[in-house]
Structure formats: C-alpha cells, structure tokens
Amino acid sequence: MKLVNHQQRPAEKTIALLGQPNAGKSTLFNALTGSRQHVGNWPGKTVEQKYGSFVHNKTEYTLVDLPGSYSLYAHSQEEMITREYIASGQADLVCILIDASQLQRSLFMLADYAGIGCPVILIVNMLDIAAARGRHIDLEKIGQRLGVAVVGMSATDKGTYADFFSALEQGGSLPDCNELEKHYQLRGGKSWQAIWEQLPEKGIGVYARFWLGAKLLEKDEGAVALVRNALPAKKWQNINAVLESEPEGALCIGQARFAWIEELVQGAVKDRKPAHSSSRLSRFDRLAISRRWGRVLTVGVLLCGLIASFLITVPLMYIAFTLPRTLFPKLLPWLVEIGMDASLISLLETCANACGTVLGMTGFVGGSFFVFSLLEDVGYMARVSYVFDNAMTRIGLQGKCIMPFVMSFGCSIGGSVGSRVIDSWGQRMLTIALAWFMPCAATWGVITVFGTAFFGMGTIWVLCALFFTSFLLLIITAKIFAPKLVPASRQCGLIMELPPYHPPKWGSIFRLVFSRMGGFIKRAFIYIVSFNILFWVLAYSADGNVQSSLLYRFGTMIEPVTIWFGLRWQTFIAYLCSMMAKESALGVLSSVFGGVASTVVGRGAVSANLGTQMTSQLSKPEVIAFLFAFYFNIPCFVAVLSAKEESHSWKWTGIIVGYYICMALIMAAVSYRVALLIW
C-alpha cells in the first residue's frame, strides 16, 4: 500500500491524535472517520499507521492516529515515530486524549508533551465512567490553569462531541508551562540549571529550552542526539559532563511532572466516595489479577470467548457451507437444459463453493473480532496481560500474547486476529509466528482420522510426539526471530494501567468490527476464489478419472523429489491443499486415492473406506511423514490473510509462511527416516 504524504493531502487541517493505550483513542478515531480511513505502515517502518478524514462545518480534517504510548521517551519504535511526526510540523493540532477515571496518571502524557511547539486540545474521555465512580472533574478550572481548551466526552457516545467540535473550530493553543519549568528547576537542581544554561534560548526546532533540558536529564536517546548535533562541541562537552555525573536525572524529572500534575488537578477533582473504597479491588478483580488463579481464569475466559466466536457465527457458517451444496443440485437440471457445457458447470460449482468458504470463514473472523473487542472494551484485557507477563517474557513476549496462543487451539484465524491487542509491532509479528504452532480443531480432526486408520490406540503416541516437537520448535523459532523482531535492547517490563471495568458500548464495538471486516472480505474473496479456480484447472477431467487430470501428471512428475521427504505425490498434493484449509486434505486424499477427480478444494466427499484405501498404498513411515508435514504446515490461507491484516507487512508474513513450509518439509523428512528405523 502506498502511503500519501499528509502535507500533500487536500485536507484543510491535520489533527494528530495522541494518547495512552486503553484511553479510547481508537474509539474516537473510528467514530470520527468511519469508513474514510486507511491503514498501512509508517514509511520505512513496520509500525501500523492509521489515518482518515471527516468533515465538520465545511472544513475537512485529516485525523492521524499516532501509536499508543505512555510517554514521549524515545525508547520504543512507536514512541520515536510519535515524536518524529509531531516534530515534523505536518500536524496543525495535537489532540491529547486522557482517561477521566485515571486522571492523574493519564496526565503524565501531557506533562511529557508540554514544551513542544504544536497547539494542543486536551480531551478528557470516559467522563461517564468517572461519574459512575463518584468522581466530578472541573474541566474549566483545569483549562484555565493550562491555558488550553479542555473538553470532556465519552468517545463511545457521539452525543458528547459538541464541545470537541467547538474547540476544533477555535483551534488549539500551547499550554502554559511556567509552573512545570519551576518544578524541573526545583527537582533537577544544579544539574538541570547547568544543562539549561548551555541550551539555546529559543530551544531547537519545535522543542523548548526547558523541554530539552528535562529530556537530557532523562538521558533520552533522541534528545541527546539532537542536542549533540545542534550545539558547538564545547557546549555539548559541558552538558555531557553533567549527564555522566547525574545518575538520578530521570527520577527527578518524573517527580517534577507528577508534582505539577498534582497542582494542576488540586481542587478540580472531587470524589463523592472515599478514595480507598473506590480503589478497593472487587472480589472478581482479586481473582483476575491473582498470580495463581488469574491464569486459570484467563484461560477459561478465552476458551469461553472462542466458543462464543463459534456460536455467534455458526448460523452464517452453516448457511455459507451448505447453501451451495443444497442449491447447486437443484440448478443442475436447468443448467443442463439450457445447454451449458459440463466443464463450465463444474467451474461454476467450484466458484460457488469457494464463495461459501469465504463467507463461512469471514463469519468466524468477524466473531473473533467481536469477542476480542468486547473483552478489551470492558477492561479485562489488561488483567490478562498482567498475570501472564512473567511467563511470556521468557520468550521475548509480553502478557497480552497469551491470548492469541489460547485462541489458536480453536482456530488459527482467531489467533491471528487476537494479536491485534498487542501494541508493539515486533511482538505482534512474533506472536503470530509462534501461535501457528498451536494446532487448530481441523488439524486434530484430520490427524485423528489418519492416526486411527494406521495406528489404532497407538495414535496417542503420535500425538505426544507431535506435541513435544511442536513445543521444542516453538522455543527454537522464538530464538530465531526474537533478535530481529524484539531485540534485547527493546525488551522491557510491561508498564500499563489497569482500567476500571465498565459496561460495553455496543455501538462502538460493532462499528469497529464492521470497519475492519470490509477489506478482509474483499481480499479473502479474491485469493480463495482464485486458488479454487487454479485447482479446478489442475484437477478437472472430462471422464472423471483423476489419472486423466493435470493434477495427476504434475504429482507423478514431482514424486521423485517429494518422496525424499517421505511424501507420495498423493500426500504431497494433500499437503499443498491443506495450505488453503486444513480439512481439505481429507477431500483431496479421497479423490486421489479413490481415483475420482474432485475439482472443489475441501468439498470432495470423504470416501467411506478412505482408511482401507490408504493402508493398502501407504506405509506407516510415509503416514508419519505426512502427519508431521501436515501438522507443521501453515494453518490455512485465511489465517495468512489475517496475519497480513494485523501485521500490515507482506514481507514478514511471507517470511513466516516460507519458514513454516520449509520447516514442515524438514520435519517430514526427519520423522520419515526415524520411522523407517521403527517399522
């Protein structure tokens, strides 16, 4: 996707939306832009870029959703992108979104921003939740102290947007930073004063003098590089000498910001309920964040979410998968009567079934989007991250990554979709790569059919071997990809707020789900229908005999190569088709072993004596090779599309796909040779 430079866009004003995770930034962005939004990557980066547009009072606004972060400290790629964009001057206005129910802590982003020369509007979101907890916030008093427009709203309710639009019309202003600068001077002491004296009076670029001084005391890498390049060598040496002798600079600056925030809200926030009672954990929340039982509860909730995803979409999936089979036989006599060629009828059947597959899979993807959006909206997702963070950091991930892992046991599509809750792109991509090791329900179904046909009760040992190998390869894969996707220098502890629980906003959730599904349906339709047409061309035979098809010729031609991996041409074709859908392997094997060509991927009827047919033509080592190749293959094509949707990177999606294909064939070759020693 080619991203357009926002300075060249025809919008009259450009607004940057800045805020911490869980503050409601995405909700506001989706509500304002609706379908007029675009998602890609920041130029030259792998971080998701979202921008859209809306019109108010004949003025068109471009809204840029900056990556969520807790501060502007240039540590993560997301924070660096946010700061670089603000400094670029492309935004006419920055809207900082904060959480009313976590007011003091959310204001830390504003304290970190103050001193950057771009006008600001402060948006206090979730006023309804704060009010329900007995909190009243005097927005006017805070606005007077800051010198900027402070507007309150509930991002999920468009009826509360009036003050926001009024503030837009008036334009933002720069916050009054005099008191904040005094706190920096007080807390930073002689070190801050010595640095401040070396800096230009007007600052550097959009950064004020005192802002640069605070960032240098924090040893912010971006600020250090900026000042070192802008100042004469002598002045930089003086600053560097101060930094080397001041080990507590970051602590002093943090204390100064929180002291300023306390002054800012003093007398402007009133709690009708005692502070200790409002912060007391509920019985459920005690369980949710318990180190012991919190993980059990999380797995239970996510499994229930997986089941709910299926239940929500079962009607659509049933209709999508059965309607072509029901209607096409009724249409067949009419098609024959009008003289349609048999080959065209076969192609039409293939396309009809492919469309059914798209609708069925789309139903589950939509259900997964809905469940994850619901859990995130009510405030539960943050608890999941907290209880699993220690365990996941061992493989370079954070606590949120457990959710895609659990969802993948039901369906790998849900696992890919579930990765959207992970803020860091690198961790999201690594999570997708590792979650594909979790076998989905279709994988277990196919393996059970094969296992019982060849090994009977001994199938349990095959399953144990697959599971143990899967766990081992998961660790190896994490070691391979983590240094590139999540380098050690970027790994840090999980810092996040635990947002209060609140009732779901159904309108906001449904708008989010529908906005994400449009592009997915279009791409899934194009790719899946195209693949099915290609398979139809290869598998079609005028006499219905598979040996007359191009598929047979192709298979027998490549068998001298595939047999090295322990795969006959029949099992290799089934392995390839399982990339489209795992369950398609049974239909394809029924066709190639039964001798009857089926031109519909995954829709060929499974022969009643498939087990007998295979046992007479395949050896046990060959079956083991197929099971390992099948198990470690990519989950399905829709899961790949979901991974692309969440990562916005064809490059890395392709790398992961190639890795799994190669790994599956390697494991097939290894398991085949081990099995030859046994049988």
Q: Which two tokens stand for residue 143?
A: 């606005």
Confidence class of residue 586 from pLDDT cuts 50, 70 and 90? low
* Residue 188, C-beta contacts closer than 8 angstroms, at least 6 positions apart: 195, 213, 214, 217, 249, 252, 253, 256
**Which of the four CATH numbers 3.30.420, 3.30.160, 1.10.287, 3.90.79 does domain 177-271 have?**
1.10.287
- As beta bridge partners, residue 526 has none
**Average confidence (pLDDT) over 315-338:** 76
Angle between helices 233-244 and 209-217 (to 10 degrees): 50
Q: Which two tokens stand for residue 222?
A: 């971006």
Task: Please tell me the distance from the alpha carbon of residue 636 to that of residue 412, in angstroms, as a whole number.
Answer: 8
What's this model's pTM, rounded to 2 decimal places?
0.63
The sign of the CA dihedral 189, 195, 199, 203 is negative
For 53-102, what is each residue's pLDDT tens digit? 888 888 889 998 887 777 787 666 667 788 888 888 888 999 999 988 88
pLDDT exceeds 90 at position 295:
no
For 130-150, what is each residue's pLDDT tens digit? 887 788 899 999 999 999 999
For 603-640, what is the HEC assignment? CCCCCCCHHHHHHCCCCHHHHHHHHHHHHCCCCCHHHH
Angle between helices 637-647 and 650-678 (to 10 degrees): 140
Q: What is the mean pLDDT of the chain?
A: 79
Is residue 369 a contact partner of residue 517, using CB atoms and an 8 Å limit?
yes
Q: How many CB atoms lie within 10 A of CB 655?
A: 15
Cα pseudo-dihedral 76, 77, 79, 84, rounded to 10? 140
Is residue 542 a contact partner of residue 550, using CB atoms and an 8 Å limit?
no
pLDDT exceeds 90 at position 324:
no
**Average confidence (pLDDT) over 231-252:** 87
Is residue 313 a contact partner of residue 364, using CB atoms and an 8 Å limit?
yes
**Average confidence (pLDDT) over 235-261:** 88
Confidence class of residue 421 from pLDDT cuts 50, 70 and 90? low
Q: How large a percentage of the chain has pLDDT more than 90?
A: 19
3-class secondary-structure state, position 206:
coil
3-class secondary-structure state, position 455:
helix
Task: Please tell me the distance from the alpha carbon of residue 245 to that of residue 241, in angstroms, as a whole number.
Answer: 6
Q: Which two tokens stand for residue 239?
A: 């600053």
What residue ranges do the domains of the chain occupy? 13-170, 177-271, 294-678
For 529-541, what is each residue's pLDDT tens digit? 777 777 777 777 7
Which CATH architecture best describes the domain 13-170? 3-Layer(aba) Sandwich (3.40)
- Residue 462 corresponds to which amino acid? V
- Residue 301 corresponds to which amino acid? V
pLDDT exceeds 90 at position 509:
no
Cα pseudo-dihedral 386, 391, 395, 397, rounded to 10? -10
